[in-house]
Chain A
Amino acid sequence: MRIKFVFNGREIEVETHPGRRLIDLLRADLGLTGTKEGCGEGECGACTVLVDGKPRLSCLTAAIQAEGREVLTIEGLRENGGLHPIQRAFVETAGVQCGFCTPGFIMATYALLKENPDPTPEEVRAWLSGNLCRCTGYQQIVEAVLLAAKYLRGDALRVTRNEKTP
């Protein structure tokens, strides 16, 4: 079966089985291994990607469920060849240690900050409750999200200024 979807901003068409897991499609077929598989059962969040802007677990998603939608993975966050501000914030607060959980946390964070640009620490914790990390103890991750929120609010400000003063 041919499945069409928008992948990291580009429309693509792949030949696959409709029941193939999205995570296998991403990692094995498309060769983008940023998305991680931890548990494969919905419990750890490592495989989180965005589908139409909303967080989804790619280990519990079939290829057919991505058809016609927009899929965004960690690889799609690169900005001008560099790190996305959320990625930068994770590095700066040591919210990344072994890094296995990081793509999932970052994608979930991306969805959160789009909905809620100025979350409280409690809101951050509640939102990320489906993502497990075995290294950091979470405190640095919460700090990373709050810092990323600051960066993104700042960036937004810069963009508007640039628009006003060409």
Chain B
Amino acid sequence: MRKSGPVEIVRPKDLREASSLVREGGMPLAGGTDVFVRVRKGLWDPPFLVYIGELPQLRGIEPREGGVEVGAAVTHAELLRSPLAAQLPVLRLALSTIGAPAIREMGTIGGNVANASPAGDSLIPLYLLEARVNLVGPEGERSLPMEDFILGPGKTALRPGEIIRSLWIPFPEGKPLPYFRKVGRRRALVIAVASLGALFWLRDGVVEKARLALGSVAPTVLRPREVEKALLGKPLDPGLLRPIADELSRLVNPISDIRATAAYRRRVAGNLLLDAAARLPRA
């Protein structure tokens, strides 16, 4: 527990200076909804914080190459208000479940991604939409798919001095049906016990293509590709999808913690697929 005085915060004038301050051991600070909570609880003790939350290079929401590029320091609420996000309904569904309004106004998408929590709600749509993470650091810029960026709970591919600059989110082809649901214990501020996001492309009443992403049931967000394949050619009928839901329950790799047991999480994972099938239109 930090006993005396507030944590040191520096405000870099641009991205370059931010990167060199992070290289020196500073921890990026965007919205602070994770940083301040953990510093206060004594879980983190950074030598100093580097406030990147208002750097203009991290603040834009722009159309780019068949998708949208979202600055890392864009807040969940800003993204929800953006007309570009309206073209990504699965992203809106997920972001609107984050925290309560004040947390959505404060928390940023870059902070959610850097946090690499298996329960991070923005991660699910980013996996589903096959977004890329654009990084900037002392050695220049690079870009990684979400799945290569997130390595484990709280672990990312960030190198010393690297900062997330933006997320590039491609618009999916066609008009897939979006689904997102998280199960937790308190409606507001719930850290998911399990969550499922999905995109279903239907043709003639059956699944032509499907993407699924699950939260809180494995060390990282999980894309169960076997199950995505197994869904092909099937109608979105909960009765018929029962065996596939069971398969999904078997496949996930959850832990037991104070929020739920592993067995419960397994069961919820499968049930969420049936819930998606029950709620979405079948044609």
Chain A positions near chain B (C-beta within 8 angstroms): 17-21, 40-43, 45, 48, 54-57, 59-62, 64-65, 108, 111-112, 127-131
6 closest A-B pairs by CB: A130-B100, A129-B188, A19-B6, A55-B102, A54-B105, A18-B9
- For the complex, what is the distance from the CA of A128 to the CA of B188, rounded to whole Å? 9
Total residues of chain B contacting the partner, CB 8 A? 28
List, in ascending order, chain B residues with CB within 8 A of A131's CB.
100
Contact B37 A60 (CB under 8 A): yes
Contacts A21-B6, A40-B40 given; indicate if A55 touches B105 (C-beta within 8 A): yes
Taking the complex as formed, is B11 at the interface, i.e. its CB lies under 8 A from any CB of chain A?
yes
Question: 17 more A-B contacts (CB under 8 A) besides A41-B37, A130-B99?
Answer: A18-B51, A19-B6, A41-B40, A41-B41, A42-B33, A48-B102, A55-B101, A55-B102, A57-B103, A57-B106, A61-B32, A62-B29, A65-B53, A128-B100, A129-B189, A130-B101, A131-B100
Of B5, B9, B100, the contact of A129 (CB 8 Å cutoff): B100
Taking the complex as formed, is B7 at the interface, i.e. its CB lies under 8 A from any CB of chain A?
yes
List, in ascending order, chain A residues with CB within 8 A of B106's CB.
56-57, 60-61
- For the complex, what is the distance from the CA of A54 to the CA of B104, rounded to whole Å? 10
For A61, the closest partner residue in chain B by CB is: B32
Q: How would residues 87 to 118 of chain B score, 1 for a CB under 8 Å from any chain A CB and 0 otherwise?
A: 00000000000011111011000000000000
For A48, the closest partner residue in chain B by CB is: B102
List, in ascending order, chain B residues with CB within 8 A of A42's CB.
33, 36-37, 99, 103, 189
Contact A111 B101 (CB under 8 A): yes
Contact B105 A60 (CB under 8 A): no
Q: Which of B1-51 contact A (CB under 8 A)?
A: 5-11, 29, 32-33, 36-37, 40-41, 49, 51
Taking the complex as formed, is B119 at the interface, i.e. its CB lies under 8 A from any CB of chain A?
no
Q: Chain B nearest CB: distance from A136 CB in Å?
A: 17
Q: Chain A nearest CB: distance from B39 CB in Å?
A: 9
For A17, the closest partner residue in chain B by CB is: B6
Contact A130 B103 (CB under 8 A): yes
Q: SS class of chain A's interface: helix, strand, loop or mixed? A: mixed
For B187, the closest partner residue in chain A by CB is: A129
Q: Chain A nearest CB: distance from B32 CB in Å?
A: 5
List, in ascending order, chain A residues with CB within 8 A of B189's CB.
42-43, 129-130
- For the complex, what is the distance from the CA of A111 to the CA of B32, rounded to whole Å? 21
A-B contact pairs, 26 of them (CB 8 A): A17-B5, A17-B6, A18-B9, A19-B6, A20-B6, A41-B37, A42-B103, A43-B189, A48-B102, A54-B101, A55-B105, A56-B102, A56-B105, A57-B103, A57-B106, A60-B106, A62-B6, A62-B51, A64-B11, A112-B101, A127-B101, A129-B100, A129-B188, A130-B99, A130-B100, A130-B102
Taking the complex as formed, is B77 at the interface, i.e. its CB lies under 8 A from any CB of chain A?
yes
- For the complex, what is the distance from the CA of A40 to the CA of B38, rounded to whole Å? 11
- For the complex, what is the distance from the CA of A47 to the CA of B99, rounded to whole Å? 15
For B78, the closest partner residue in chain A by CB is: A54
- For the complex, what is the distance from the CA of A129 to the CA of B190, rounded to whole Å? 10
- For the complex, what is the distance from the CA of A108 to the CA of B40, rounded to whole Å? 24
Q: Chain B nearest CB: distance from A17 CB in Å?
A: 5
- For the complex, what is the distance from the CA of A61 to the CA of B32, rounded to whole Å? 7
List, in ascending order, chain A residues with CB within 8 A of B9's CB.
18-19, 62, 64
For B49, the closest partner residue in chain A by CB is: A19
Q: Chain B nearest CB: distance from A22 CB in Å?
A: 10
Of A64, A112, A128, the contact of B51 (CB 8 Å cutoff): A64
List, in ascending order, chain B residues with CB within 8 A of A61's CB.
32, 36, 106
- For the complex, what is the distance from the CA of A55 to the CA of B77, rounded to whole Å? 11
For A57, the closest partner residue in chain B by CB is: B102
- For the complex, what is the distance from the CA of A17 to the CA of B7, rounded to whole Å? 9
Q: Chain B nearest CB: distance from A72 CB in Å?
A: 13
Q: Chain A nearest CB: distance from B258 CB in Å?
A: 15
- For the complex, what is the distance from the CA of A4 to the CA of B103, rounded to whole Å? 24
Q: Chain A nearest CB: distance from B65 CB in Å?
A: 31
For A16, the closest partner residue in chain B by CB is: B6
Contact A45 B33 (CB under 8 A): no
Contact B6 A45 (CB under 8 A): no
